[in-house]
């Protein structure tokens, strides 16, 4: 069974640019979570999508957004990039809300 | 606000020794997870603990949960170099609705 996949693996952007990260959940999983792992800040919950809808978000500004598609894959968009957005962005999926979350390999974003 | 505290945050130990990582959390939790992260990599699920008194073991690692004390432990028996990694505990408080709240991680180095 294929695990959670994410693309791209690495990204380098400059301040002010926009970026889109992609995530494909494990087959059969409907919930997708996004997390940010920034140096010194630890792992923080960003967004939760379930059944195509944004259900909850962590303490992040609105320039962090995303969506979930009918096939349950998801995109994370970050607008107006700032230097502190440099981080490893992890996507996780679960069978449904509250079940164990399985993490993808992550996308390393560097903002210059 | 849910807080998850791990200690120690850094641990250097010799092969063959035993040690315990502690994870305290501040409010009632639905589930507690332990993850392993190798440098530059994603999170690997180690254990899911669901109920008071739960104990799970895999190889040289054993995790336990005391919901009354709001404490989980990850015990390492006869450590080997391959167990060097960062270990995170994470708590699901809202049945998945709020994502996982992570501890800061324990950076474990096992010297041969």
What is the pLDDT tens value at each position of chain B, 112 positions in all? 789 999 999 999 999 999 999 999 998 877 899 999 999 898 999 999 988 888 999 999 999 999 999 999 999 999 999 999 999 999 998 777 888 999 999 999 999 8
The mean pLDDT value for A65-83 works out to 97
Residue A1's pLDDT band, with cuts at 50, 70 and 90, is low
Residue A104 to chain B, least CA–CA distance (Å): 7
Beta carbons of B52 and B66 less than 8 angstroms apart: yes
What's the pLDDT score for residue B111? 93
- Residues 6 or more apart whose CB falls under 8 angstroms from that of A82 comprise A15, A111
Quote the CA–CA distance of B57 and B92 in Å, as a whole number: 21
Report the residue from B42, B97, B104 with minimal CB separation from A97. B97
Q: Per the CB < 8 Å rule, is B100 touching A33?
A: yes
Quote the CA–CA distance of B84 and B109 in Å, as a whole number: 5
Quote the CA–CA distance of A91 and A32 in Å, as a whole number: 7
Report the residue from A45, A104, A105 with minimal CB separation from B100. A45
């Amino acid at each position: 069974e294929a695990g959670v996949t994410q693309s791209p693996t690495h990204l380098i952007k400059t301040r002010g640019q926009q970026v889109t990260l992609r995530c494909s959940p494990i087959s059969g999983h409907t919930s997708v979570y996004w997390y940010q792992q920034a140096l010194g800040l630890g792992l923080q919950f960003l967004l939760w999508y379930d059944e195509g809808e944004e259900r909850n978000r962590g303490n992040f500004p609105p320039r962090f957004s995303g969506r979930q598609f009918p096939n349950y894959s998801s995109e994370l968009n970050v607008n107006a990039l700032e230097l502190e957005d440099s981080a490893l962005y992890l996507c996780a999926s679960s069978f449904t809300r509250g079940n164990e979350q399985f993490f993808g390999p992550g996308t390393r974003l560097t903002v210059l | 606000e849910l807080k998850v505290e791990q200690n120690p945050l850094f641990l250097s130990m010799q092969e063959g020794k035993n040690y315990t990582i502690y994870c305290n959390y501040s409010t009632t939790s639905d589930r507690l997870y332990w993850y392993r992260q190798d440098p530059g990599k994603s999170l690997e699920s180690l254990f899911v603990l669901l109920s008071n008194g739960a104990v799970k073991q895999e190889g040289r690692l054993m995790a336990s949960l005391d919901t009354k004390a709001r404490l989980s432990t990850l015990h390492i028996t006869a450590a080997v170099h391959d167990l060097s990694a960062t270990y995170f505990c994470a708590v699901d408080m809202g049945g998945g609705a709020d994502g996982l709240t992570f501890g800061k991680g324990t950076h474990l180095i096992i010297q041969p």
